[in-house]
Amino acid sequence: MRFISKEEISPLLDFPSLIDRLEQAFQGNYTIPQRHHHDYDNPNADRESTLLLMPAWEAGKHVGVKIVTVSPENGKHDLPAIQGLYLLMDGDTGTPKALCDAKTLTVKRTAAASALASRFLSAPDSKHLLMVGTGALAPELIKAHSAARPIEKVTLWGRTPEKAKQLAEELVADNALEHITFSIAENLESAVAEADIISCATLSQTPLISGKWLRPGQHLDLVGAYRPDMREADDDCILRSEVYVDTYAGATKECGDIRIPLEEGTLKLEEIRADLFELCKKEKTASRTAETITMFKSVGHALEDLTAAQLIDERLPQLNEA
């Protein structure tokens, strides 16, 4: 069994390939048990931490499980909020094949899932992306959305302007993004109004995006706010948008952006237009027009992890040759 580090994973999971592979996986025959989601007390922090256990398998091929902790206040320790490992095993013998850095795998597959949704939901000529949040997911979401749509301009917004500027400098230095111009948003409302796609990846407990700011034709991608008491978008976003999710089971139970509007009656279950399984299988289609505002809520799914790990395993000979 080999440990696959962050530095090794990144070049193996290019976004065009990973997005295509996810689309195939959401049409495929996998077994995905309900993930374990456990919040646990952290006496040294003001907020609870979370333990996630996410198993999945493709019969006769691979079995995988991700073990992840989410500690929202890890910034004060100069540590990432998300940490963990992904174990990939042979589906026939059960023999462990690879142990992967789960944080890198997670940010890659999460960003790819948002880009996959964007293929179905955003305007094909979307050129301006607003990235709300400056954490580990932000650069990956920018790269993934740029692989799905002809992004030419990216505006960055963060609670701490210094972090947004630092992120912009890192992105400018990335040769893969040399065709994109970057700018820093001082006012979030104005930045939302100007963008074609708004992608949010924060740990906000109160809505950052107001539906009143949205304009026809936009696509809102909500990736953060992973707990039932966290939200990135307000009720007006729900009321003005066609709502899509990665999975019904996860989105309706685990995240406040969908669960709270459902509990309060702002959103009805039958008003959620489709999940990624239905879109990829073409069981449902997005009826986008120039007036449509679409909203996609992602909470993550074990199928995405297994698919990324399988692609890593398939490309391991590249590492051996190097």
List pLDDT tens digits, range 136-182. 899 999 999 999 999 999 999 999 989 999 999 999 998 889 899 99
- Mean pLDDT within 88-110: 95
Look up residue 88 and give its two tokens.
Answer: 């990939």
What does residue 172 show for φ and ψ, rounded to 5 degrees?
Answer: -60, -35
The predicted pLDDT at position 28 comes to 92
Residue 245 has pLDDT above 90, yes or no: yes
The predicted pLDDT at position 175 comes to 82
Of 238, 296, 242, whose CA–CA distance to 263 is shortest?
Answer: 238
The predicted pLDDT at position 321 comes to 65
In the 3-class helix/strand/coil scheme, how is 126-162 assigned residue by residue? CCEEEEECCCCHHHHHHHHHHHHCCCCEEEEECCCHH
Angle between helices 102-121 and 302-314 (to 10 degrees): 110
Q: Scanning the structure block, which residue is given the tokens 């996986």? A: 25
List pLDDT tens digits, range 248-287. 988 999 899 999 999 999 999 999 999 999 999 999 999 8
The residues facing 295 across adjacent strands are 220, 243
Q: Quick check: do 2-105+303-321 and 110-301 share a fold?
A: no
What is the spatial distance between Cα 317 and Cα 169, in angstroms, rounded to a whole number?
Answer: 34
The residues spanned by each domain of the chain are 2-105+303-321, 110-301
Homologous superfamily of 2-105+303-321: ornithine cyclodeaminase, domain 1 (3.30.1780.10)
Instruction: Report the CATH architecture of 110-301.
Output: 3-Layer(aba) Sandwich (3.40)
- Mean pLDDT within 53-82: 90
The predicted pLDDT at position 34 comes to 84
The residues facing 87 across adjacent strands are 65, 99
Sign of CA dihedral 19, 208, 259, 53: positive
As to burial, measured by CB atoms within 10 angstroms (0-12 exposed, 13-18 middle, 19+ buried), residue 184 is middle
What does residue 93 show for φ and ψ, rounded to 5 degrees?
Answer: -100, -15
- Mean pLDDT within 308-319: 90
What does residue 284 show for φ and ψ, rounded to 5 degrees?
Answer: -140, 155
Of 255, 240, 129, 252, whose CA–CA distance to 202 is shortest?
Answer: 255
Cα Rg, the chain, nearest whole Å:
19
Q: Scanning the structure block, which residue is given the tokens 């409302």? A: 189
- Mean pLDDT within 81-103: 93
Burial 257-271 (b: 16+ CB within 10 A, else e): bbbbbbeeeebeeee
Query: Cα angle vertex 15, ends 11, 20, to 5°?
Result: 125
Residue 25 has pLDDT above 90, yes or no: yes
pTM of the model: 0.92
What is the spatial distance between Cα 314 and Cα 322, in angstroms, rounded to a whole number?
Answer: 15
